Amino acid sequence: MADQKDPEINPSSVANHDEASGSGTQISESGNPSPSMNQLEGDTVEEHDSPGHDEIDSSYGDAEFDANSITESLASSVKLFREEHGRTYHSYGTTEYWGANDEEAKDQQDLRHLLSSFLDTNSRRQTISCARKKSTVLDLGTGTGIWVMDVADHYPSAVVKGMDLSPIQPLWIAPNAVFEVDDYNHTAFDVSPNHDLIHARELLGSVLDWPRLFRKCFEGLKPGGWIECAEPDIKVTSNHMPMPADDPNAQWVEVFRQVGQQTGMTFEAAVRLKGWLEETGFENVEEVVFSIAVGTWPRDKKQKELGMWNQVRLANGMRDFTERRMRNSLGKQDVEIEALIARSRAAVQDSKLYTHQNMYVVYGQKPEV
């Protein structure tokens, strides 16, 4: 991955300023020429023999023309989103991500950021890391890029980069924020070793090899740099009431256990983050578990508001979390998918169950020497 270059002086990154898609995202220098999803699905790539003289493009050798046209077509191909059942999905990358990348999905991600802002999670590590002069910060799987934009606004001397499969980030961003299209599951994915902070939030169900990704992050941090991960436990449960025997949340967890096994990308990363970071060699690893209400049942005002947003997010997002994986990974029919979505949605809206969900936030520091 072509990491941490000044967005304004990096001539090799491809500025992909497309007003129509609202994206100011660049394509990674590795461009990883990752196979497109079409290639992954078995389409063959045409092979060409060496051309005879009459087949040679007369403009060949004009380096600027060639570079531009190649990067332009790469730029437009990553924006050709796939359409499935009325939703759009990324086209770039070596693995199929479960979530859509349309407006509905973006609202969903921004709601997730709002939830985080209620939790006193990261300010200390972020302050330590970003207070360093000209610190460099990376957000893996940045989504709408809202975390990057927040941190870039807070720390104008930091360079804050977000990477993602989908170029869905806004065009008008602070000069110290940059977005790049890249794929952390690609074997060539790399993080250059100049980072002060690496952030990874809600990558569940999308990482092929967590230990490998954490090794890349370890190599990509300066001595003393921090990694911060945040993942939800997918179980929604209750400390106050027995859950019904046919609890759809339990069924949902079981279905996603199968999906994780089938795709090799687990949805149950939260509880394993601490162990993975320690095994990688991070020090001062700390796990904080936040219990977030699902619904407005807590007495505490802040918890009540948090619970309300969490409930809205889970109810609205149930389709986003569920649909593509049940259909594409497990081959389930629409009727079964719709039934599970409807029942799970009703369960998260059942105020008599006093349910909650655990959110894991885990930090680790690369040793100083």
Which spans of this chain sit near ligand SAM (rule: CB under 6 A)? Answer: 90, 93, 95, 97, 99, 109, 112-113, 141-143, 164-166, 183-185, 201-203, 206
Strands 283-293 and 355-365: antiparallel
Beta-carbon-side half-sphere exposure of residue 109 (alpha carbons within 13 Å): 20
Q: By C-beta, is 213 or 353 nearer to ligand SAM?
A: 213
CB of 118 to ligand SAM, least distance (A): 14
**203 vs 293, which CB is nearer to ligand SAM?**
203
| CB nearer ligand SAM, residue 115 or residue 353 | 115
Q: What are phi and psi of 76, to 5 degrees?
A: -75, -30
Tell the smallest beta-carbon distance from residue 351 to ligand SAM (Å): 26
Smallest separation (angstroms) from ligand SAM to the CB of 53: 42
Least Cβ distance, residue 250 to ligand SAM (angstroms): 22
Structure tokens at 79: 């924006």
C-alpha distance across the termini of the chain, in Å: 25
Nearer to ligand SAM, 113 or 304 (CB): 113
Complex with ligand SAM: residue 140 or 340, whichever CB lies closer: 140
Cβ neighbors of 231 (< 8 A, separation 6 or more) are 201, 202, 203, 204, 269, 270, 273, 359, 360
Least distance in Å: CB of 362 to ligand SAM?
15
| Closer residue to ligand SAM, CB minimum distance, 318 or 353 | 318
Closest separation in Å from C-beta 141 to ligand SAM: 3
